[in-house]
Chains A and B, each alone.
Chain A
Amino acid sequence: MNDPNEQAVLSEVPRQTFELEECGFREVPKKWRKFYRHWEGPGDELGPNEIICPVCKVVIRSKREIRVGDRLYCMPCMSRMIVVLGEDGTLQTDVTY
């Protein structure tokens, strides 16, 4: 999703939804574990429902496709963030204190 226009068009398309399962992340209470996973490094491709926490580098997962303006929470490091469109056209996050 590198084209900002593509992002705008996508906002009118129904979001994909996802059934999440635990991926071995055990650093939060069990009921929250499927919403997070460890990032395996540069070769680890993120899904459309995943984004990396800028504070602790854990992968945050959502039940639905992530889009600009979404609010996400990183429980492992207590961070709150808003999804934004980066200068390179990729989805990024701004931490909101």
Chain B
Amino acid sequence: MSEVDRPEFDSSEFDPHGMNPEDFLDEVHSFEFWFQAVEGYLTDNPYGHESGDEPISDRPDDLTESDKDSLITTLCNYCVGETAALEGASGMIAIAPNRHSKIFLATQVVDEARHLEVFLRRLQDLGVTDPEGEIERRANPTLQVFKRRLLELVKAGDWSAALLAQNVILESMEHAAFLVHATTADPVTAQILNGVMKDERRHLGFGENDLGRLLSEHPGNRRRLADIRHEMDGLVLAVFSRAADDLPGDASMREAMGREYIETMDRLGLV
């Protein structure tokens, strides 16, 4: 049933702030919640953007050859990040400690697969005939190191460290990059990025809140996770340093996004 076909209902009785905490957590972790949420912004947006009458490759854009080359490199790195998130989230389902987390991660796997698909599609729109080969050639080596480290944590069954690396650090890194990029991107790429960021809001929130609950129950984990954070931070900084060459954006916005990441770590006490 599409959103348009869904019957109207009287929403006056609903108030999320009046829910008890258990009902709230049940609701927001549910597959049904995810399904109705993404339906709201993905319907009529195949491959993450509004469909036009003409093929996208025939639409005018202001990209110079140099702009296009930089965009292709950036999109290749997004594909590496999304592949890491896809493999990370799918592996984490098996080690997730409860039903809420398993169901939520299943929805995240679908989100990450969609992100990878829309970025691959955008590469093809830009004339890249062998996206997989192009990613291999252009991927930032430090991002590949980050991906390997994340998957090591997942493979080791280290739930709290994997959650930190995947849903807090990687998602923060992606969100920051997408937010800055969307302010200067061509209209199609910007629309794709804005759609992806709507999903990232859930992923980041899940990471911070689940990790926050875990640290409240097991505060002894904080020192170990802070050490992992510092190890991963080095990789994140190296990725951003290199990405800055390909990713135009306002310096003040970059600083603002860095502040948000630090605020998140402060709230979690991972300093």
Q: Judging by beta carbons under 8 Å apart, are B14 and A31 in contact?
A: yes
Chain B 17-45 residues near chain A, CB threshold 8 A: 17, 19, 21, 24-25, 27-29, 32-33, 36-37, 40-41
A73 proximity list for chain B (CB < 8 A): 16-17, 19, 24
| CB neighbours of A80 from chain B (8 A) | 21, 24, 209
A30 close to B208 (CB less than 8 A): no
The reply to whether A28 and B40 form a contact with Cβ atoms under 8 Å apart is yes
Interface size bucket, B side? 35 or more
| Surface stretch bound by A, among B3-11, B56-64, B146-154, B238-246 | B3-11
**Which of B128-136, B157-165, B184-192, B210-218 makes up part of the contact surface?**
B210-218
Is A55 on the interface with B (CB-CB < 8 A)?
yes
Contact B205 A74 (CB under 8 A): yes
Q: Select one of A35, A58, A78 contacting B29, CB under 8 A.
A: A78
Other-chain contact of B204, A56, A71, A97 (Cβ < 8 Å): A56
Interface string of A13-44 (1 = CB under 8 A from B): 00000000000001111111111000000000
Hey, what's the 0/1 contact readout for A43-55 against B, CB within 8 Å counting as 1? 0000000000011
Q: How far is the CA of A37 from the CA of B209 in the complex (A)?
A: 21
Q: Does A92 contact B (CB under 8 A)?
A: no
Tell me if A33 and B40 are in contact (CB < 8 A).
Answer: yes
Q: How large is the interface on A (under 10, 10 to 19, 20 to 34, 35 or more residues)?
A: 20 to 34
Closest-by-CB residue of A relative to B29 is A78
Binding site secondary structure of chain B? helix
Whether B17 lies near A70 (C-beta < 8 A) is: yes
Q: Which of A46-90 contact B (CB under 8 A)?
A: 54-58, 62-63, 70-80
Is A63 a contact of B205 with CB atoms below 8 Å? no
Task: Give residues 221-271 of B contacting A (CB, 8 Å).
Answer: 260, 263-264, 267
Given known A54-B267, A97-B213, A97-B216, contact A29–B205 (CB-CB < 8 A): no
CB-based contact A31/B11 at 8 Å:
yes
Confirm or deny: B202 has a beta carbon within 8 angstroms of a beta carbon on chain A. yes
B68 at interface by CB-CB < 8 Å: no
Within 8 Å CB of A75, what residues of B? Answer: 16, 24, 27-28, 33
Kindly list chain A residues whose C-beta atoms are within 8 Å of the C-beta of B41.
Answer: 26-27
In the complex, how many residue pairs between chain A and chain B have their CB atoms under 8 Å apart? 91
Which residue, of A57, A72, A79, has the highest number of chain B Cβ atoms within 10 A?
Answer: A79
A35: chain B residues at CB < 8 Å are: 15-17
Which residues does chain A contribute within 8 Å of B9, judged by CB atoms?
31
Which residue of A27, A33, A58 has the most chain B CB atoms within 10 A of its CB atom?
Answer: A27
**B212: which A residues are within 8 A, CB to CB?**
95, 97
Chain A hits for B16, CB < 8 A: 32, 35, 73, 75
By a CB distance below 8 angstroms, the chain A residues around B25 are 78
Q: Which residue of A lies closest to B267 (CB)?
A: A95
Contacts of B21 in A (CB 8 A): 80
CA distance A30 to B204 in the complex (A): 22
Kindly provide the distance from the CB of B269 to the nearest chain A CB, expressed in whole angstroms. Answer: 10
Task: Tell me the smallest distance from the CB of B255 to a CB of chain A, in Å.
Answer: 15
